[in-house]
Amino acid sequence: MLNVKWRPVAIIAAIVLLVHFIVRSPYIEYRLSQTDDNGAALQPDREDALPSNQAPANMKHPLPVTVTVTQNAEAPQTVTSIVKETVYIDNDLKDEVLEKASAAFVVLTRNQDLKALRESLAQLEAQFNRRYHYPYVFLNNEPFSDEFKEKIQEVVSGECQFGLIPEEHWSYPDFINQTRAAEVRKDMKERKVIYGGHESYRHMCRYESGFFFRHPLMDQYKWYWRVEPGVKFACEIDYDPFLFMERNNKKYGFTISIKEVIETIPTLWNTTMQFMDKHRHLIPATNLMEFVTDKDGDYNRCHFWSNFEIASLDFMRSDQYLAYFDYLDRAGGFFYERWGDAPVHSLGVSMFLNKNEVHWFEDIGYYHGPLWNCPKNEMNRNKKCWCLGDQSTEVKYKAWSCTLDFVELTNP
């Protein structure tokens, strides 16, 4: 029996230990580390707080698309085959030399994106790049500030390069009628078309469609992984996706595929058909056009969500893709409508590649608001994911997703 006079001391010691274990829990440590711009702790209902993934059944999707929301749907039984590294590396060994591809992360961003981007890169480093130290290329249509460069380099392990986008790549071509373009923006804004009134968004879509891979800082690389501010990486990536692509003759990798908002691309499909008719010699007999068409051959609006891409720069620089981009550019749809880089990339991939050359990274837990790609079942556990499989887009928004349609396509 504990002596009475020591009992208060024992109680105090127990309380101290209890508080210590609570504060040291991984979730509490994460939440305490999350603060807003004023240093205040984030609240759970804040948009930038750690997502709980417990969306109510009547959740409204922010994009103007009608979707069917299915809660607790049975997870699709698909399998991602990955090439494991032949070398074992301890997660704590920073200087271990691994075989690497000629690759870089590419990030189109602005100085004001610093906070959101640092959080995304910290997750990417923790889940993958702390073991591989791949370099980063940051691109901006305005000069990066010294603070931006310093703060970014604090959270990444790879070399950082900061590039200024040439003015001719982020401006109106001389064949665009700017008065007409302004009238289109005004009309689309009044009709509440998503990003319809944004001028800078159109320059961004055009740049991502046809120019980022031509920046001199990208010349030395063969592969790129696109990263955007505010995205989340929820699972351990215990192999090298670049080497997986290279070793398996893949050219384009994605995580999420969905249907485009038709009001943004009313003539994109017809323009693409005109290109194909005039350039039949560029279109291989074995392609992926089934992904973007329905059984009657009409455009189904499916596209790979290009905010996440791991892809071949040789493909993007190829004569056939450049010919397609130049044809679209001359048609004016980036400014006279609101063509996005996602459907443009996807139509290019579908025309010029076959299914064996395209890969769904089912095992990479990835979030770009408001959509998830999250591994299911045993894969979720093996990858130490903090996302929930039933929140993945192809499960939660099955009628709006195109991913399982891709999976079901036959290989050539």
Residues composing the chain: 412
Cα 31 from chain centroid?
Answer: 24
Output the pLDDT for position 24. Answer: 36
> Which residue shows structure tokens 């399998």?
79
Mean pLDDT by 10 residues, the chain (412 residues): 54 49 33 36 30 32 35 33 30 61 98 98 98 98 98 98 98 98 98 96 98 98 98 98 98 98 97 98 97 96 98 98 98 98 98 98 97 97 96 96 97 88
* Whether 119 is catalytic: no
- CA–CA distance, 370 with 240 (Å, rounded to integer): 26
Output the pLDDT for position 11. Answer: 58
Q: Helices marked H in 338-410 — which ranges?
A: 341-352, 377-382, 393-396, 403-408
From 260, 290, 309, 357, active-site residue: 309
Taking alpha carbons only, the member of 254, 249, 257, 256 closest to residue 357 is: 249
* Beta-ladder partners of 311: 224, 252
Cα four-point dihedral sign 205, 284, 288, 221:
negative
- Is the pTM above the cut of 0.85? no
Taking alpha carbons only, the member of 372, 350, 397 closest to residue 66 is: 397
Residues 6 or more apart whose Cβ sits within 8 Å of residue 348: 321, 324, 325
Q: What are phi and psi of 234, to 5 degrees?
A: -105, -5
Output the pLDDT for position 13. Answer: 54
Output the pLDDT for position 98. Answer: 78
Q: What are phi and psi of 128, to 5 degrees?
A: -145, -60
Output the pLDDT for position 12. Answer: 57
* Beta-ladder partners of 257: 304
Residue 27 CB coordination number (10 Å): 9
* Beta-ladder partners of 163: 139
Output the pLDDT for position 31. Answer: 30
- 3-state class (DSSP) for residue 48: coil
Cα four-point dihedral sign 270, 272, 278, 280:
negative
First to last CA, the chain: 78
Output the pLDDT for position 10. Answer: 56
One-letter amino acid at 153 equals Q
